[in-house]
Structure 1
């Protein structure tokens, strides 16, 4: 193992928060700057750092941990609450639009795999959306509940579909569906077993006693779950990220009240992810970004606004259905913009697509560039709309829209 390139990658990851702190009025998400820094320092521009085996290995682990944290963010109460029907209608509309857009681009000769493009367009960056809604004091409002529910549904659908149809291990669709059901059953079994095990007085007491010692037992058990489900997913012919994503959902279901009863648990997991592994993935994605392919010709560059518009169409337009919940025009527009904000799954889809020759480098670069622009532009437009939309009265009586 050689650490020279890894040192630079980690130095970039440590520098980004300081750079963002210098311009606090510019709400630029950290992952965007990490990817841009990787592009500048990588072979595409300055050629100061290379994606060697050590960096790539940690990047793959970081990708899995990113999907784990995304699964951990899913609020299942939002997906089965009173607004669930609207979320479901919006998701169906998004999938339909994604299919139409992917098919249309393929007919026009602009993309190679309409299915891959459609799946990439369905996802929303849930991890970026939640902090924005919290800053706008909108999480508990209908606009926040619908946006988080829609983002969760989109994230789940994109990861499952990506693993179902795009994997390095080929098999028939029917067998893959059966294997996916088997993986889901295994996850359900883990959830049920874990919940029942929590009823054991001895086990519960032991977990509490060891949670904040050098044993860090909750973190260790979680790491076993992430790697274990990732390994099972790979053995079943899926991508490891699906297992990691399911692990996040399992932890969320087993410990739904972790924020109140074990407030340090999620903090520790986020420390491992956002403090170490996830930034390595984003910086490495920038290092591997094919800038030459993006600027090879005008047609490649014009694909960036095309994919950006496709994101807004596929994820933003279905937010119109949220008007049925009484949202104002400003809230509907804000929700649509936030749902169209997507980056991590797009990077994942582009990475997998390149490995499987399902997407050309120019399209992969343009798709990632569109994702970068979406997390910069769309939240900047959505936040003022959220701030000027009506708030519910403090007494609990709703304010008329």
Structure 2
């Protein structure tokens, strides 16, 4: 069988099979990840394929570009006090988990901090994309979206500092490059909006994706992965919405989401294909189940208590919000890979982290009620015929 036919079948399988299995409440991302694990055992050369790596890069960059576009600072300001409380509790729990990892696992402070981020950071892109499938009120969706965004902003900043902190000169240089990029991106957007988009209607989407991929490449070269640059590009585009409304319009947000939905399966597939056989052991299974048994109830309880006692939500609403914030799939995948490649994390702990991410990501699909309505949409009523003046009790004009 030719390689072209094999890749065509692979693309069709990644786009169709995971979507078909969603009827059984299996998130498509987990299906793609498992598909990568299975396929790498049968076809080891796919792990080193440049085409799969490129498609996976498009997937993670476009996903975080969309996550940046979803940030609405005005909404964050509306719930500033509860969000600051949420951030404060998140900082405390990160420090606590990092301290426990340093004390009992014998990790240095950098891998211990990254491990805490991997275990506790909700995946905003996955969560926002999943909310449409659940029967939640507008207020619950508001808090889930904004709490996950606030936690992701904290995690991205912490990840950047932790990864560069071992070398102060490297941290200073990377910070300078990052600040230069933050200054250059809005200038680039404004230049494109002035000299290109007026003469090329409909080009805003392609230019936005181009800038997002370029920013992702810069941060990857800084050693802090693609996701940070793509998120910054999306966030800046959202902040420039008053001056460049077409750039971060609802139409463009929808287009980026569709673009991401096409390429993201390759990201999860590629990560599944990178899982070593040493991570598929009984020891990894026990570690993953242990992490889930300890951390998942603790995380649920902390978020539930905040919503119930500090924000005054009902017990049921607080539980729905807490369950929706549990998935950590993307951040756990990214940071577990960094820990394994740069800090020699054991294969067993790596596999345990992946199992933990899979289980907490599966939780909302199993617990929350799915919004599904089989009732037909009401037909538009035909406009009523005009009533003759005589029948309406109005004297006709002479």
* Bin of the TM-score, shorter chain as denominator length: 0.7 to 0.9
Partner of 2:377: none
Partner of 1:307: 291
Instruction: Normalising by structure 2, report the TM-score.
Output: 0.78
Please give the per-residue CA displacement for 1:212-239, whole angstroms capped at 9, x wherever unaligned. Answer: 3xxxx21232133123323433455543
Partner of 2:389: none
2:134/2:368 contact within 8 Å kept: no
User: Of 34, 39, 42, which residue of structure 1 is paired with 2:40?
Assistant: 42
Partner of 2:392: none
Partner of 1:350: 336
Partner of 1:172: 167
2:63/2:257 contact within 8 Å kept: no
User: Of 120, 129, 141, which residue of structure 1 is paired with 2:118?
Assistant: 120
In 2: Cα distance, 1:30 partner to 1:283 partner: 11
Q: Which runs of 5+ in 2 are unaligned?
A: 373-398
SS in 1 for 2:197: helix
Please give the per-residue CA displacement for 1:323-357, whole angstroms capped at 9, x wherever unaligned. Answer: 33221011112212221212011111112222203
Please give the per-residue CA displacement for 1:231-281, whole angstroms capped at 9, x wherever unaligned. Answer: 433455543332122112122222379699944322332333221x22111
User: Of 68, 75, 79, which residue of structure 1 is paired with 2:76?
Assistant: 79
Partner of 2:215: 229
Partner of 1:377: 363
In 1: Cα distance, 2:176 partner to 2:305 partner: 33
In 1: Cα distance, 2:302 partner to 2:37 partner: 32
User: Of 28, 40, 43, which residue of structure 2 is paired with 1:30?
Assistant: 28
Partner of 1:286: 272
Q: CA deviation at 1:366?
A: 1.3
Q: How many pairs align?
A: 364
Query: Quick check: 1:95 aligned with 2:91?
Result: yes
2:63/2:125 contact within 8 Å kept: no
In 2: Cα distance, 1:174 partner to 1:85 partner: 36
The Cα RMSD (Å) is 3.4
1:121/1:314 contact within 8 Å kept: no
Q: CA deviation at 1:31?
A: 0.4
Q: CA deviation at 1:371?
A: 1.0
CA 1:336/1:185 → structure 2, altered by over 3 Å: closer, same or farther? farther
CA 1:153/1:94 → structure 2, altered by over 3 Å: closer, same or farther? same
Partner of 1:264: 251
Kindly name which structure, 1 or 2, has the bigger radius of gyration based on alpha carbons. Answer: 2
CA 1:311/1:211 → structure 2, altered by over 3 Å: closer, same or farther? farther
Q: CA deviation at 1:108?
A: 2.6
Partner of 2:390: none
SS in 2 for 1:356: helix
Q: CA deviation at 1:118?
A: 0.7
CA 1:208/1:97 → structure 2, altered by over 3 Å: closer, same or farther? same
In 2: Cα distance, 1:260 partner to 1:244 partner: 15
CA 1:92/1:228 → structure 2, altered by over 3 Å: closer, same or farther? same
Q: Which runs of 5+ in 1 are unaligned?
A: 388-401
User: Of 307, 329, 340, which residue of structure 2 is paired with 1:322?
Assistant: 307
Query: Quick check: 1:183 aligned with 2:178?
Result: yes
Please give the per-residue CA displacement for 1:343-381, whole angstroms capped at 9, x wherever unaligned. Answer: 011111112222203522221221112111112123432
